[in-house]
Amino acid sequence: MKSFCVIGLGRFGSSVVRSLVKNNYEVVVIDTDAKKIDDFKDIATHVMIADATDERVLKNIEIDKFDGVVIAIGQNVQASILTTMIVVESGARNVIAKATTDVQVKVLEKIGADRIIQPEKDAGNRVADNLAHPDISDY
Ligand code: ATP
């Protein structure tokens, strides 16, 4: 069975986790916030209260063995960049990082994230595309 690791349980990370669990995948979640982790202890396969910028944390869970890693830390740009760097350097596959600013996008690209998501911007583009091309249903 495929397994994924989601780092950061903001709105974006939480919805990624819920969707993956709904599709019966194994999901390990990491967040520094004990309250957020508590909310997911009965949802995710495994939960960890930990700082993902600590290299040992990601090494211990063998981050390179997952089928995909989602770095859903947005506003803490420093933590987002550092975590993505550690994950990419570990050799992990399908590294998806969330960004909140265009500068963050550039840096995450440079570091080597496989895909970068800007939820509001991406959704806005899709809405505009749907309005412009109502005949094409899936953007
Ligand atoms: P969203 O828009 O998806 O709600 P956001 O962009 O506002 O999220 P943040 O709230 O900054 O993102 O971070 C998302 C989550 O990441 C938070 O729950 C936060 O506790 C967690 N987080 C931040 N830094 C780290 C870290 N170093 N290690 C693990 N989790 C972290």
Q: What does the pLDDT read at residue 138?
A: 60
pLDDT of the residue at 134: 85
pLDDT tens per residue across span 77-121: 999 999 999 999 999 999 999 999 999 999 999 999 999 999 999
Q: Report the percentage of the chain scoring pLDDT > 70.
A: 98
Which pLDDT score, from 0 to 100, does residue 22 have?
Answer: 97
Query: Which one of 39, 76, 85 would you pick to mutate in the ligand 1 pocket, going by the greatest count of ligand atoms within 8 A of its CB?
Result: 76
Pocket test for ligand 1, best of 31, 81, 122 (most atoms within 8 A of CB): 31
What are the helix (H) ranges across the chain? Answer: 11-22, 34-39, 55-60, 77-89, 102-111, 119-132
C-alpha 71 to ligand 1 mean position (Å):
9
pTM of the model: 0.94
